[in-house]
Each structure stands twice: as C-alpha cells, then as structure tokens.
Structure 1
Amino acid sequence: MIAQETSKRDPHAGHLIVFRGRRGDLVKILWHDGQGMCLFAKRLERRRFLWPSTVDGTVTITAAQLGYLLEGIDWRMPQQTWRPTAAG
C-alpha cells in the first residue's frame, strides 16, 4: 500500500514498483501477475545499481533501461560489466 501511495502507480495494472537498497547493491521489484503480488530481489556481488535521478521520488524508465539496470550495466552508456567466472 505504501508503494502504491508513494509512487502514484497501480501495481495491479501492470506497473512494476522498483526499490533500491541504501547501499545500492540490492533492488526489489513488486508486480502483480494476475493471481497475486510477486517480489523479485537481486543483489550485485560487485558494484552498485546505477539509479536514475529522481525529481519527485519516482522515475519512469523503459523496459530496456530496466534490463540494463538489472544486469548491472550503466543504462546511460551501455557496455558489458564484470561477470562472475565461477559460482560459489
């Protein structure tokens, strides 16, 4: 409810609500899949998510920009960043 009131967007209408952690290495996404609310969380092992500047606390980005953001790529100047070579 807080996310809906703060962002002035309806997550039940297909909008994604994206939050970034204080350190900038964690993002959480809320969305409604038609049956219920879903939560997606991602933490970067290196670097931080490059966050767009906000004017009134909210930002609208394209699907491509969101894809870059989730990959840890600078969406302002896209280029591949560090990728882990081994799991664990």
Structure 2
Amino acid sequence: MPNGSRCGDLLKALWWDGQGLVLLAKRLEKGRFLWPTIAREGVVTLTAAQLAMLLEGLDWRTPTPSWKPEIAV
C-alpha cells in the first residue's frame, strides 16, 4: 500500500486475520519505509521476512538500514 505520508515515514496496511480486517498503522521516528516504485495492479506480495524488514525500516530488497545511528552505544 502506498504510504500515507509524503515523507515515507507512515505505513498503513489491511490484514485479514480469518475473522475480519485489521487496520495497521506505523510511523517511523527515523528513516523511511522503502516501498516499491512500481506495483502491478496496485498489489505487492511480500514474504514474512520481507514484511518484517519493511516494518523495521529496512530496504526489503537489499537489507540495509534507511538511516544510520550517529553514535553506537
């Protein structure tokens, strides 16, 4: 689904849990969601691992962070 924010920091998704639809929304404090630029018929199929990376703000095509911490503790 396209991001609801032009900054790319907001993701909204619908999920069918077997009994009804669930609306999920997540906004990243740092970084942005890296969504495919071209989706056939508005549908993108992701594996569970790709979805987990997308929700963490990682590039699910090549797992690298979309932001880097300034100082590692």
Q: Which runs of 5+ in 1 are unaligned?
A: 1-17
Query: Which residue in the other structure is 2:55 paired with?
Result: 70
Deviations 1:22-55 (A, max 9, x none): 3211111111222222111100111210011324
TM-score normalised by the chain length of structure 2: 0.69
Say how many residue pairs are matched: 67
**Change in 2 beyond 3 A, CA 1:52/1:31:** same
Greater share of residues in helix: 1
Aligned CA-pair RMSD: 2.4
Give the structure with higher Rg (CA).
Answer: 1
Structure 1 moving runs of 4+ over 3 Å: 79-84
8 Å contact from structure 2 (residues 32, 66) kept in 1: no
TM-score normalised by the chain length of structure 1: 0.59
8 Å contact from structure 1 (residues 72, 81) kept in 2: yes
Q: Which runs of 5+ in 2 are unaligned?
A: none
